[in-house]
Structure 1
Amino acid sequence: MKKIYQSFDDLSDKSTCAPRLRLLREELAKRGVDGFIVPRADEHQGEYVPKKAERLAWLTAFTGSAGAAVVLADKAAVFVDGRYTLQVRQQTDTALFDPRDLVSEGVGGWLEANAPKGAKIAYDPWLHTPAQIDALKISVAHAGASLVALDSNPIDAVWDNQPAAPTARAIVQGIARSGEASETKRTRLAEEIKAKGADAFVVTLPDSICWLLNIRGADVPHTPFALSFAILNSDGATDLFIDEAKTTPELKQHLGNSVRLRAPGEFVGALKDYAGKTVALDPNWAASAISDTLSAAGATVKRLADPCQLAKACKNPIEIEGMRQAHIRDGAAMVKFLSWLAAEAPKGGLSEISATQQLEAIRSESELLTDLSFDSISAAGEHAALPHYRVTSASNLPLKLNEIYLIDSGGQYYDGTTDITRTIIVGSPSDEMKDRFTRVLKGHIALATAKFPEGTSGYALDSFARRPLWDAGLDYDHGTGHGVGSYLSVHEGPQNISKRPIVQPLKPGMILSNEPGYYKQGAYGIRIENLVVVQEAITDGDRKLLEFETITLAPIDLNLVDPLLLSAEETNWLNAYHERVRETLEPLVDGEARAWLAHATRMI
Structure 2
Amino acid sequence: MTFKEKLSAIREQMKTDGVDAYVIPSADPHMSEYLPNHYKCISFATGFRGSVSTVVITQDFAGLWADFRYFEQAEEQLKDSGYQLVKLKAQHTPEYITWLRENLADSAVIGFDEKLVSITLSELFHKQLTVKKIKYKHKDYLQPIWKDRPALPTEPAFLISEEFTGQSTKEKLNLIRAVMKQYHVQHHLISSLDDIAWIFNLRGKDVNYNPVVLSFALIAENQATLYIQSDKLTEEDKTSLSQSGVNLLNYEFIAKDLQFIPAESSILIDPRRNCLALYKLIPSSVVIVKETNPSTHLKALKNSTEIEHTRIAMRKDGIAITRFLKWVKENAGKIKMTEISAAAQLRSFRAAEVGFIGESFNTISAYKAHGALPHYAANSKSDSEIKAEGLFLVDSGGQYFYGTTDITRVIPLGNPTEEEKTDYTLVLKAMIEGCKTRFPKGTCGYQIDAITRRPLWDHGINFGHGTGHGVGYLLNVHEGPQVINAGPTPIALELGMITSIEPGIYRPGKHGIRIENLVLTVEDQTNEFNEFYAFEALTLAPIDTSIVKVDLLAASHINWLNTYHRLVFEKLSPFLNSEEKTFLKEMTKEL
- TM exceeds 0.5? yes
The letter of the residue matching 1:223 is N
Aligned counterpart in structure 2 of residue 67 of structure 1, from 25, 35, 53: 53
Q: Counterparts in 2 of 1:474-513, with a 5 A limit?
A: 474-513=461-500
Answer yes or no: is 1:135 the counterpart of 2:124.
Answer: yes
Answer yes or no: is 1:96 the counterpart of 2:82.
Answer: yes
What is the CA distance between 1:398 and its match in structure 2? 1.8
Partner of 1:35: 21
Distance in 1 between residues matched to 2:317 and 2:455, nearest whole Å = 29
Q: Counterparts in 2 of 1:331-346, with a 5 A limit?
A: 331-346=318-333
Where does structure 1 differ by over 6 angstroms across 4 or more consecutive aligned residues?
Answer: none
Q: Give deviations 1:46-104, integer Å, cap 9, x for gaps.
A: 11110000011000100111011112223211111111111111101366112113455
Aligned counterpart in structure 2 of residue 208 of structure 1, from 195, 203, 228: 195
Q: Give deviations 1:167-221, integer Å, cap 9, x for gaps.
A: 2111111101110111011011112112211111101110100001111111000
Give SS of 1:537's match: strand
Q: Can you give the 5+ residue segments of structure 2 that lack an aligned partner in the other structure?
A: none
What is the CA distance between 1:366 and its match in structure 2? 1.9
Q: Give deviations 1:562-593, integer Å, cap 9, x for gaps.
A: 12222222212111111111121112121432
Give SS of 2:143's match: helix
Partner of 1:375: 362
Q: Counterparts in 2 of 1:573-588, with a 5 A limit?
A: 573-588=560-575
What is the CA distance between 1:142 and its match in structure 2? 4.0
Q: Closer, same or farther in 2 for the Cα pair 1:539/1:194, shift >3 Å?
A: closer
Q: Give deviations 1:498-544, integer Å, cap 9, x for gaps.
A: 11111101110000001111111110111110100001113555421
Partner of 1:9: none
The letter of the residue matching 1:146 is K
- Conserved? CA contact 2:9–2:145, under 8 Å: yes
Give SS of 1:156's match: coil
Q: Give deviations 1:112-159, integer Å, cap 9, x for gaps.
A: 123344432111111111110111134444445422224xx2211220
The letter of the residue matching 2:32 is G
Distance in 2 between residues matched to 1:55 and 1:303, nearest whole Å = 28
Partner of 2:399: 412
Partner of 1:177: 164
Partner of 1:244: 230
The letter of the residue matching 2:233 is T
Q: Counterparts in 2 of 1:274-353, with a 5 A limit?
A: 274=261, 275-296=263-284, 298-347=285-334, 349-353=336-340
Q: Counterparts in 2 of 1:143-222, with a 5 A limit?
A: 143-150=132-139, 153-222=140-209
Give SS of 2:267's match: strand
Aligned counterpart in structure 2 of residue 519 of structure 1, from 486, 506, 514: 506
Identity %: 36
Partner of 1:108: 97
Q: Can you give the 5+ residue segments of structure 1 that lack an aligned partner in the other structure?
A: 1-14
Q: Counterparts in 2 of 1:525-540, with a 5 A limit?
A: 525-540=512-527
Q: Closer, same or farther in 2 for the Cα pair 1:576/1:225, shift >3 Å?
A: same
Aligned counterpart in structure 1 of residue 69 of structure 2, from 62, 75, 83: 83
Give SS of 2:281's match: helix
Partner of 1:23: 9
Partner of 1:5: none
What is the CA distance between 1:32 and its match in structure 2? 4.2
- Conserved? CA contact 2:46–2:81, under 8 Å: no
TM-score, with normalisation over the residues of structure 1? 0.94
Distance in 1 between residues matched to 2:147 and 2:462, nearest whole Å = 45
Q: Counterparts in 2 of 1:466-477, with a 5 A limit?
A: 466-477=453-464
- Conserved? CA contact 1:140–1:147, under 8 Å: no
Give SS of 1:122's match: strand
The letter of the residue matching 1:398 is E
The letter of the residue matching 2:67 is D
Partner of 1:12: none
Tell me how large the CA RMSD over aligned residues is: 1.6
Distance in 1 between residues matched to 2:297 and 2:415, nearest whole Å = 45
Give SS of 1:294's match: coil
> Which stretch of the first structure deviates more once superposed, 589-598 or 474-483?
589-598
Partner of 1:455: 442
The letter of the residue matching 1:523 is K
Partner of 2:113: 124
Q: Give deviations 1:2-22, integer Å, cap 9, x for gaps.
A: xxxxxxxxxxxxx83112112
Distance in 2 between residues matched to 1:379 and 1:528, nearest whole Å = 13
Length, aligned pairs only: 586
Q: Give deviations 1:294-324, integer Å, cap 9, x for gaps.
A: 144x322111111100000000000011111
